[in-house]
């Protein structure tokens, strides 16, 4: 809820973030009185027009008699079908007017739903492709979580022995740690995962949209595979990648229709091949290398995962730490990673984590941000204190806008511009809000300080991790590059330590 003019425009980035990630949201904004609309009155802004491309729908309520039905409809639309943000703009005179509330208000525009276009022929084609595949890979995205299809997905994986790769927003749809879970795919996905996709003979895309960060170069993406795409949104089928079978419908229902036709299968040779690639990844993993006294962000995220037994809700910001979290904090439950995927909104973590903790007070919630993103919305520390939100905040401080610096190093001739950051003392900053705060500079301090933070009650607590400044996220598929042409982490040598 925001006031008119600048209050409303300050919502724009959040609304666009929700639109890109299919998050249900209803925004109620103030507006000048109906008689003043169009007259450039103080704080008049056409927020309906501004947000039109980044909302699922929007309303300007001009008569209080329409208010009840509009709000009912707005919440219905935000949550139904492919979820998304809806804006309701309320002129001041409508806010002050009175009306009789009709709890049985109809939903005149709410009957519209995406058609269930399931064709028996297409279902049969999907079954045949699955039966005939010896090297299949499932690509599971946020749609799997939105559909609540985790059980059906697990049945499909287990029965048909199909490895599962996850998009960033699909993490949690299938438990990482399961032998058939390959973790994150794409630009900073695991090497073995990307190799599995590139060498598959069948991709089964479930509630994902073949984002450029997932596919790399479309011309070389999984060329030897047939493709099945299941999504609620018909406009996603064939949008980026041509598919052999497109099934439009609720993922859970589609899988329920498919499963009875799918017999158990054994794909041991394929799984063994992937396991070999995974072992190569493990050998390269910096966690298993001697990095001397350096505290790497990877250490922090791995140790945080261990300390929380992998059970925390993590809310990440955007940048290097976001990718490291995705690589080193395996999630086993739906809804335990909240992050900005599509829009890549820096500044997301702190306010979103406050919301996550308030919505799920029983969960241990960690906001994980870099020093750059944290400074974009750190004023929300006041909200966390004021509302006594028991939030744990980890600031991964490397003194740079690290991901941009990484691109400048790798792809722009090391011409560093606007990426070194002057950062404040995050400990002193937190203390100014009466937030207990700690600074960690060594690997051995990570676990004890995390434990201290976990035990703190009564409000937020902050831990700053001063990590090695110039580390890069590996592997990395250069933008527009082929998914299997990854830049790998160099082996650490004695000279480097």
Residues that bind another protein (CB under 8 A): 48-49, 52-53, 56-60, 62, 77, 82, 109, 112, 114-115, 233-235, 237-239
Find out whether 46 and 89 touch, Cβ atoms under 8 Å: no
Q: Which is nearer to another protein, 233 or 390 (CB)?
A: 233
Is the Cβ of residue 51 or residue 198 nearer to another protein in the bound state? 51
What does the block give as tokens for 56? 């699922």
Q: d(Cα 161, Cα 346) in Å, to the nearest integer?
A: 38
What does the DSSP 8-state code read for residue 176?
B
Kindly calculate the radius of gyration of the chain based on its CA atoms and give it in whole angstroms: 24
Tokens of 258: 């498919």
Cβ neighbours for 30, distance < 8 A, ≥ 6 positions apart: 2, 3, 4, 7, 8, 90, 92, 95
Q: Among candidates 413, 394, 255, which has minimal Cα distance to 314? A: 394
Q: Which is nearer to another protein, 239 or 447 (CB)?
A: 239
**Nearer CB in complex with another protein: 77/395:** 77
Shortest reach from residue 233's CB to another protein, in Å: 7
Smallest distance, another protein to C-beta of residue 112, A? 6
Alpha-carbon 27 to chain mean position: 21
The secondary structure of 229-291, three-state, reads: EEECCHHHCCCCCCCCEEEECCHHHHHHHHHHHCCCCCCHHHHHHHHHHHHHHHHHCHHHCCC
Residue 314 dihedral angles phi and psi, to the nearest 5°: -105, 140
Exposed/middle/buried for residue 493 (C-beta within 10 Å: 0-12, 13-18, 19+): exposed
Is 134 within 8 Å of 161 (Cβ atoms)?
Answer: no
Residue whose CB is less far from another protein, 146 or 304: 146
In the complex, the smallest distance separating the C-beta of residue 71 from another protein, rounded to whole angstroms, is: 15
- Tokens representing 321 are 């730490």
Nearer to another protein, 86 or 173 (CB): 86
- In angstroms, what is the minimal distance from the CB of 337 to another protein? 27
**Nearest distance from residue 109's CB to another protein, in Å?**
6
- Contacts of the segment 282-289: beta carbons below 8 A, 24+ positions apart: 284/191, 284/474, 284/488, 284/489, 284/491, 286/474, 286/489, 286/492, 287/328, 289/491, 289/492
Residue number with CB closer to another protein (49 or 490): 49
> Could you give the residue ranges of the DSSP H alpha helices within 396-474?
402-411, 426-432, 443-455
Determine the Cα–Cα distance for residues 212 and 485; give it in Å rounded to an integer. 15
Nearer to another protein, 82 or 284 (CB): 82
- CB of 77 vs another protein, minimal distance in Å: 6
> Which uninterrupted H or E stretch holds 385?
helix 381-386
CB of 96 to another protein, least distance (A): 21
The nearer residue to another protein, 46 or 409, going by C-beta atoms, is 46
Nearer to another protein, 235 or 452 (CB): 235
User: What CA–CA distance (Å, rounded) separates 59 from 90?
Assistant: 9
Minimum distance of another protein from residue 53's CB (angstroms): 5
CB of 115 to another protein, least distance (A): 8
CB of 73 to another protein, least distance (A): 9
């Amino acid at each position: 809820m925001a006031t008119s003019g600048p209050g409303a425009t300050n919502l724009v980035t959040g609304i666009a973030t929700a639109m890109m990630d299919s998050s249900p949201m209803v925004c109620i904004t103030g507006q000048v009185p109906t008689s003043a609309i169009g007259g450039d009155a103080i704080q008049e802004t056409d927020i309906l027009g501004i947000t039109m491309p980044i909302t699922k729908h929007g309303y300007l309520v001009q008569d209080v008699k329409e208010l009840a039905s509009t709000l009912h409809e707005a919440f219905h639309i935000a949550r139904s079908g492919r979820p998304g943000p809806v804006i309701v703009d309320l002129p001041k005179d409508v806010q002050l007017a009175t009306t009789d509330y009709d709890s049985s208000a109809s939903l005149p525009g709410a009957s519209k739903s995406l058609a269930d276009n399931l064709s028996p022929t297409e279902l049969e084609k999907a079954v045949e492709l699955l039966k005939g595949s010896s090297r299949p890979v499932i690509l599971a995205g946020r749609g799997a979580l939105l559909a609540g299809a985790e059980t059906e997905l697990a049945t499909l994986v287990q029965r048909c022995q199909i490895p599962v790769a996850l998009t960033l927003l699909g993490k949690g749809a299938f438990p990482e740690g399961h032998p058939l879970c390959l973790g994150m795919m794409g630009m900073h996905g695991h090497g073995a995962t990307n190799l599995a996709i590139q060498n598959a003979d069948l991709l089964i895309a479930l509630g994902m949209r073949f984002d450029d960060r997932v596919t790399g170069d479309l011309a070389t993406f999984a060329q030897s595979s047939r493709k099945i795409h299941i999504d609620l949104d018909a406009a996603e089928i064939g949008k980026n990648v041509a598919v052999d079978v497109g099934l439009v419908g609720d993922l859970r229902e589609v899988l329920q229709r498919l499963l009875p036709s799918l017999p158990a299968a054994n794909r041991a040779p394929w799984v063994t091949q992937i396991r070999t690639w995974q072992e190569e990844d493990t050998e390269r993993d910096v966690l298993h290398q001697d990095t001397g006294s350096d505290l790497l962000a990877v250490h922090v995220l791995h140790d945080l995962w261990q300390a929380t037994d992998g059970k925390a809700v993590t809310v990440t910001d955007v940048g290097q730490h976001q990718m490291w979290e995705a690589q080193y904090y395996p999630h086993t439950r739906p809804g335990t990673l909240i992050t900005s995927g599509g829009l890549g909104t820096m500044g997301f973590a702190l306010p979103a984590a406050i919301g996550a903790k308030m919505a799920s007070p029983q969960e241990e919630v960690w906001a994980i941000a870099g020093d750059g993103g944290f400074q974009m919305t750190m004023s929300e520390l006041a909200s966390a204190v004021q509302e006594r939100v028991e939030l744990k905040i980890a600031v991964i401080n490397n003194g740079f806008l690290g991901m941009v610096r990484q691109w400048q190093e790798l792809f722009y001739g090391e011409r560093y511009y606007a990426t070194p950051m002057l950062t404040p003392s995050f400990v002193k900053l937190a203390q100014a809000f009466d937030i207990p705060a700690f600074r960690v500079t060594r690997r051995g301090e990570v676990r004890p300080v995390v434990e201290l933070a976990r035990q703190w009650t009564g409000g937020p607590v902050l831990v700053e991790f001063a990590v090695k400044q110039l580390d890069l996220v590996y592997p990395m598929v250069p933008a527009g590059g082929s998914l299997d042409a990854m830049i790998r982490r160099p082996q650490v040598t004695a000279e480097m330590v």
